[in-house]
Each structure stands twice: as C-alpha cells, then as structure tokens.
Amino acid sequence: MTRTTFGASGWVGTSAHLLFPGKSSAFHDRGGPDVQPLTSSPFEVAGLLLALLLACQELGYRLGFRVGKVDDEYKRRVDMIRNAILAMVTFLVGFSFAGAGSRFIDRQDLIVKEANAIGTAWLRAMLLPEPQRGEVQAELRQYAGDRLELLRSFDTASIHQILAKTGVSQSRLWRSGVAGVGTDREFANFMLPALNDVIDIHSEHLSAARRHVPQPILVVIVVTAAIGMAMVGFDNGLARRRFFVLSTAFSLVLAASLWMTIDLDRPRNGFMQASEQPYIDLLASMKP
C-alpha cells in the first residue's frame, strides 16, 4: 500500500489541479485543446471552492481586527473597494455562467442532431441494393454504439481507440454508399448528403466538446472572488464582529455559483451531465 503525505505545497498543487486542471491526453486530437480536462469529482471542486472562500474571509477578518479602529474616511474607502470588487465578481460569474449554460445546451442539441442524422442515414440506406445496404446499416449501428460508448467512457485508452475508429468507420460508410448509388446521380443526391451529415456532425460535436470557459478567465474569477471575500472579512474585522451567518451564507452562494459555472462547462464529468438518451433510443430503433 502506498501512503501519500500532503504538505502545504502538496495541498496547493492538488487544489490547483482540481480547479484549473492541465491538459490530459483524453480527447486530445491533433494538438488541439482537451475535450474534457476536468476529471475530478464535482463535489471535491465545490468543497474546495467553499473552503477557499471561507479561508479568505477568515484571513481578511484577522487582518481587519489587527488594524483596529479607523476613521470614517478609511471605512468609506474600504466599503467602496469591497463593493467594486464584489460587483466585478458578480459580472464575471454571471457572464461565465451564461456562456457555460449556453454551451451545455448546444452540446445536448448536437447529441440530438447527431442521433437524428444517423437515424436518417439508416432509413435511407434501406433503399440501397445489397450488399451495400447491409454494410451501411451495420456500420451505422456500430457507429451509433461507439457514440454512446464515447459518452460513457472515462478511460483515456478507450476514448482514443473510439476516436481512431471514427475515421475508419466514416471511410467505410462513404465507400459503401458511393458503391450503392452507382451512376444514378439523382439517387446519389438523395443518399450521399445523409452520410455526409453524419460525418460533418461528428466534427461539430468534437469542436463543441472542446469549447470551455478559458482557463485564464476561471483563474481571474476565482482569485477575484477570493479577494472579494477577504475584503468582506476585513470589513467585519474593522467592526470587531464576524457576522458569521451572513458572511457564510454569501460564501455558500458565491461558491455554488462558481461551482455551477465549472460544472456546466464540463458536462461529461460534472454533476449535470449531457443526456445519452438520444443514442439509446436510436440504437433501440436500429433493428437488424
């Protein structure tokens, strides 16, 4: 059994990895950004955010308590800076949350769109002559199964294997479709666009999965929120009162807002995950 000891530097490193994970090889394609870099538990992220904000609030309180009594002008300056920082935090969190929510819906819509495209290609493949009809339908069935497995898989090797199979499957689909339509141009105009949609939507889906709130923006939001909570604690320290319930409630709300922004932006691993039901329904309808 391996025992791991965490010092101060180790805790900071672990915290940074949970909140701002670096690039992993999962879903890393052609040197592009990660599709799903956040692999930690969403509850760990939520707990870490809350602990960070409460710690900053306590640190601010102790600093304010040490400063002691101040004049009214100093107090007004503190209030002005605190309110400005909290207003900036509100703007940044609201802006990022709106973007993350929009991307979450876009990803879910693409899952439905891809399932519909595969289903349309499956139905049109019934018009192909044999053996191309069987080849295309068998390939589409396997392709849909791979889409479902891709959503369910968290193993890096499995994800790479499925993504590597995608290009091969698309090539086989296209070759069988072209062979099936032959020289009938009118039939080709009916059949081939359906197969082309299946291929194109895969690229759209990968592109959408790679889009997240930029990591520097996340860093700025969390740091600004931490400074804001420190200013709240500092103001409480000047007043020699903790206002524990009010300050803790604000920390909870702020931590929840930050957590939901991060969680929505990573729908594969977060608490709120993109639904795989469209692929399940599609496979149920694709009877041999």
In degrees to the nearest 10, what's the CA dihedral of 119, 121, 123, 124?
Answer: 160
Q: Could you list the residue range(s) of the whole structural domain that residue 132 is in?
A: 110-210+276-285
Q: Residue 116 contacts by C-beta under 8 Å, 6 or more apart in sequence?
A: 278
pTM given for the model: 0.71
CA distance 197 to 174: 11
Query: Is 32 inside any structural domain?
Result: no
184 by DSSP, 3-state: which? coil
**Count of domains in the chain?**
1
Token code pair at residue 228: 């804001």
Query: Is 20 inside any structural domain?
Result: no
Query: Which residue's structure tokens are 């519909």?
Result: 116
CA distance 102 to 132: 40
Query: Is 1 inside any structural domain?
Result: no
Query: Is 86 inside any structural domain?
Result: no
Query: Is 79 inside any structural domain?
Result: no
CA diameter of the chain: 90
Which residue type does 268 have?
R
Rounded mean pLDDT of 256-274? 79
First vs last Cα of the chain: how many Å apart? 49
- Average pLDDT, rounded, for the chain: 80
Name the nearest CA neighbour of 262 among 106, 102, 109, 96. Answer: 96
Query: Is 171 inside any structural domain?
Result: yes
Query: Is 90 inside any structural domain?
Result: no
In tens, the pLDDT along 176-233 reads: 999 988 888 899 899 999 999 999 998 888 888 778 888 888 888 999 999 999 999 9
Query: Is 175 inside any structural domain?
Result: yes
